[in-house]
Structure 1
Amino acid sequence: MYTNKHVAKSLEKQHLRGVRKYYLCIADINIALSKVHQAIMPQIDLEQYKFATEYIHQYISHTSVWNLKFVVNLESPEVALLQIFHLHYIFEQEPVEKFKNERAILKEQEEAFLALKPFKEDHIERRRQAMLHYIIEQLSANMKE
């Protein structure tokens, strides 16, 4: 017969498996998005996306969005969200016929990310608006110089 201690341990193990699975899924998404970044990097003008990249780099530890490393970044839902925003921003500026495979991968990974429900929709929209606001501010400040 199970005691309360056995039930508690069983529930704890189940919870830990779920948490591990969640972070492995986030890591898979981040790795896939990082591969998209690496694939498009040689084909775009990085200077054109300087401010979007600067914004993203505020939230990535010890590395770059163009070459994502370290577990702390790979298992971060925030980094995944920001990579999605960054790629969307780039793809909105590039011709539609360019990067068809990469766009498909982004769509697939974004759907997988949203299925995990790491953030509420309003949080996601606020973060997206914050990035766009930052880019606009930097562009206007750069024009004044």
Structure 2
Amino acid sequence: MYSNKLANSKNNIAFYRKKKRLTQEDVREEFFKRTGKKFTQGTISSWENGKTAPDINILHVLASILEVNVNNLYESNEEETDQPITSSELNRYEESLRQVQAMVKQNRKDEALDQLEELSRSMLAKLISLSTSYEKLTVQVKAVKEIMRI
């Protein structure tokens, strides 16, 4: 199962679906029961991956099925940090890299490797957060465009 941050990587549809232990097929069937509308096999996946955005009427039914409000489907969950990289973070990364370089020059390679791994994990987590924010904004723009067509 995805971590909470990765579950948010396009929107929160997959996160809440999995939280309710529903498959995409379960959601399709429940949607049909409630509305009489059928979706193709890949429709739910397409929404979850941000390739398409459901229109507002579909979002309301989907939110009802997942027992959340519509905003929850596109808002960050409390664990996600989607703040931009600050200059203090960049300075910290730069300082850590200087420390690693100094350790290598002092032949403290094991210690340097440990610090480099820790720094890499920290930077990767920040990049995932930034990527998630960008992807979610893209999906939100698609949803707004879809709503405006109605």
TM-score > 0.5 by shorter chain: no
| TM-score, normalised with respect to structure 2 | 0.29
- The structure with the greater share of residues assigned to helix is 1
Higher relative contact order (CA 8 A, sep 6+): 2
